[in-house]
Amino acid sequence: YAQSAGKTLADALKTAGVSRVDVVGIAESHCVKDTALDARKLSFEVTVFEDLTVPVSEELGVAARKQMAAAGIALVESR
């Protein structure tokens, strides 16, 4: 996690009153999944906008979505 003045990004977000994290991006099956799972483990409410992400492959995308859903991450469309 990024450090700034001795604080983690999670600490800075929580200090600012952030309780939800929305995740989008390329590599849904890697970067998006890992970011979403990390945020969930840190007790943030997490939403991944499926239509704003792209998996490396369809198979990896299906596996990533199953893992995220099992962790309590909301998988929704942005519209």
Backbone angles phi, psi at 28, to 5 degrees: -50, -35
Q: Which two tokens stand for residue 78?
A: 């942005």
| Confidence (pLDDT) at 1 | 44
Query: For residues 19 and 15, what is the distance between their CA atoms, to the nearest angstrom?
Result: 10
pLDDT tens readout for residues 27-66: 999 999 999 999 999 999 999 999 999 999 999 999 999 9
Class of domain 18-76: alpha beta
- Looking at per-residue pLDDT, the higher value among 1 and 67 belongs to 67
As a three-state string, the secondary structure of the chain is: CCEECCEEHHHHHHHCCCCEEEEEEECHHHHHHHHHHHHHHCCCEEEEEEEEEECCCHHHHHHHHHHHHHCCCEEECCC
pTM: 0.86
The reported pLDDT for the residue numbered 6 is 72
- pLDDT tens digit sequence for 17-30: 999 999 999 999 99
